[in-house]
Structure 1
Amino acid sequence: MLRYGRSKIFQQFRIGVLGAPFNQGQTKLGVKDGPQTIRNTGFIKKLEELGHDVVDAGDVQPDDGVDGETGPSGEKNHRRVLTYNQKLSEAVRKIREDHRMCITLGGDHSIAIGSVSGHCIGTPHKQLIVLWVDAHADINTGRTSPTGNMHGMPISFLVQELKHKINRLPGSEWPQPSFEVKHLAYIGLRDVDTLEQKYLDDMGILHFGMRDLDKIGLSEAVARCLDHLQPTESRSLHVSFDIDVLDPFEAPSTGTPVRGGLSLREGLSIVEEARNTGRLRGFDLVEVNPTLGTVKDAALTAEAAKAIILSATAGVRG
């Protein structure tokens, strides 16, 4: 059996940081402050002190003039979400074409529609592979979602197998699928809707929930995910990390916390193994909402986000 994640040491790292202060994929609007809150931890300065070549590309700002109508299948703020993500995708594409790993700071998890598609477009002739680290599967469509909130739908807009079940940006063919489900793996799931679970089972998507981690251990689950995805020179790895995969004790300031999650050390282990493949080129850190909980809660959550990002980038080269 292949085993990925063996330690690699590189001397020169090229990283682009991009803020996605977007909150229209759900209802807790303070998540738009997540990117600046994470920046305020000083993680960029820390990376520069370590000798990395870091460019902060600023924030991709939403267009307040875009209509927020509900989509054909009940997707809330459908046009706003997709218009924003099309803009974000272009910004991520530019960073990738500069041969930099793109770190995208959310914002709610609907921004992964743009970050993943931009990674795909900006990495031509390579297969995109995706590790989704989250308490939630985020594979609902408008018809299956119990809430209509699009932060629970990004995967459905990205995978080839569901392209006929999603409603694209009105008047366009955007987004197009970025990868097939055989190039997707989940870890940390513990709050999955019934119809999402049916998608996971029917399409044979590799996924590990917290109960699975209790049975086989985190290290084995991560190794199986990476063996399945097989990061290589021709396969560019994207990790989308929702801070709510951590237990609320570790990261309380997030919109949909679920008890019984990963410890911070476990979260760090996942991204360290992804980093050590040497193929990590796209990384999202989403759903930090500093307006939820106390000032201490917000600071604790931001510091957890900083630790995750630093662990994901310590071994990356362009």
Structure 2
Amino acid sequence: METLNISMIGVPIDFGQMRRGVDMGPSAIRYAGAVERLEALGHEVVDEGDIYVPNAAKLEVHPKLRNLGAVVEACTKLAEQVATAVEHKKFPLVLGGDHSIAIGTLAGLAQHYKNLGVIWYDAHADMNTAETSPSGNIHGMPLAVAMELGHEKLTHIGGEQPKIDPKNLVIIGARSVDEGERELIKEKGIKVYSMHEIDRLGMAAVMEDALAYLRSREIDGLHLSLDLDGLDPMYTPGVGTPVPGGITYRESHLAMEMLQESNLLTSAEFVEVNPVLDTKNATANVAVGLMGSLLGESLV
């Protein structure tokens, strides 16, 4: 593949959910050799360091949106940095942190891509709002926010318009979806490949179909948002919301390889690595391995 100028941005936030430790995810991914792995593929990598994350206790408290103020502040800064990276023709590679950071990533990308495609590789749909969420955790809301559903302090990050068209969204690996999310998926006509489809059709067929669908939408960019809990927890023990029966290690590498071969990818983020819950940094190592496959590494 072509050599990329990669802008690596860490977001050490764990305020979008309740399990502490995922704020150390960016450090764990760096420790697992992310920069070295990508530089070995010929890419130019600039590690921009970490976005400043404020103390949640000093910011606004909302009864149904956990740590709203801290998430808004961090995602606003992230949106600005992602937009700047794209403006300078760089490939944004965002390291989480919990999945609430995708609010900022998508807001930044939307400033440059008017018909952005998104692959959401995750066990969860992440389409709740304050009204439908059983927990109030904002890491379960980024896709709803990107469709301009939810609290205006979240939806207005990076502008008051929707950041994605729901018809340009593909979810892969879903197996834990709340009732409100199911209704929204049907209402918006969102394309979802649950574990049922992956088991029945195979990952190769799923990715071929997903990429053909996104091409038919005439997208002008493609973002991958990969939650490590999309994989089965036997491969990624260090995640906060593990769901058994997930995607295998090899299926995930195949998906990344097929994404790389598509020549559609313009940005990516890897989230929910929690070293406190991990075993010998295994989950961060998987994340870095998947980055390698995504950005040009091959077996031969």
TM-score calculated relative to the size of structure 1: 0.88
Partner of 2:200: 215
The one-letter code sitting in structure 1 at the alignment partner of 2:75 is: N
Aligned to 1:247: 232
Q: Is 2:286 aligned against 1:304?
A: yes
C-alpha distance in 2 between matches for 1:90 and 1:282 = 15
Q: Specify which of 58, 72, 77 is matched with residue 82 of structure 1.
A: 72
1:13 deviates by: 2.0
> In structure 1, how many angstroms separate the alpha carbons of the residues matched to 2:19 and 2:156?
29
Say how many residue pairs are matched. 294
- Give, in whole Å, the separation in 2 of the partners of 1:77 and 1:60: 17
Q: Does 1:106 align with 2:96?
A: yes
Distance in 2 separating the partners of 1:46 and 1:32: 22
Judge conservation of contact 1:232–1:279 (CA < 8 Å) in 2.
Answer: no
Q: What's the counterpart of residue 157 of structure 2?
A: 174
CA displacement at 1:233 relative to structure 2? 8.4
**In structure 1, C-alpha distance between the alignment counterparts of 2:231 and 2:43, rounded to whole Å:** 27
Alignment of 1:57 onto 2:61:
no
1:20 aligns to what?
Answer: 11
Letter in 1 for 2:205: E
CA distance in 1, matches of 2:164, 2:37: 33
Q: Pairwise mapping of residues 95-134 of structure 1 onto structure 2 (< 5 A)?
A: 95-121=85-111, 123-124=112-113, 126-134=114-122
Matched, 1:146 2:155: no
Aligned mates of 2:47, 2:217 — CA distance in 1: 27
What secondary structure is seen at the aligned counterpart in 1 of 2:172?
Answer: strand
From the superposition, tell whether residues 263 and 234 of structure 1 become closer, same or farther in structure 2 (CA, over 3 Å): closer
Give, in angstroms, the shift of residue 63 of structure 1.
2.0
Q: 1:231 and 1:311 mapped to 2: Cα distance?
A: 25
RMSD: 1.9
Measured after TM superposition, the shift of residue 22 of structure 1 is 0.7
Cα deviation, residue 298, structure 1: 4.2
What's the CA shift string for 1:52-89, capped at 9, x where partnerless?
11111111011227514016xx1111122112101110
Distance across 2 between alignment mates of 1:39 and 1:129: 27
**Contact 2:98-2:139 within 8 A present in 1 as well:** yes
Q: Is the 8 A contact 2:173 2:193 kept in 1?
A: yes
CA contact (8 A) 2:107 2:157 kept: no
- Partner residue, 1:157: 145
1:24 partner SS:
coil
State whether residues 116 and 282 of structure 1, in contact with CA within 8 Å, keep that contact through their aligned partners in structure 2.
no
Instruction: Report the counterpart of residue 37 of structure 2 in structure 1.
Output: 46
Partner AA of 1:129 in structure 2: G
Match of 1:187 in 2: 172
Sort the Cα spacing of 1:232 and 1:185 in 2 relative to 1 into closer, same or farther, 3 A.
closer
Identity %: 36
Q: Distance in 2 between matches of 1:88 and 1:231?
A: 30
Secondary structure of the corresponding residue to residue 230 of structure 1: helix
Is contact 1:252–1:298 with CA below 8 Å preserved after alignment?
no
Q: Which residue of 1 aligns with 2:242?
A: 257
Please give the secondary structure, in 2, of the residue aligned with 1:156.
helix
How many Å apart are 1:240 and its aligned residue?
0.2
Contact 2:28–2:275, Cα closer than 8 Å, also in 1: yes
Conserved 8 A contact 1:20-1:59: yes
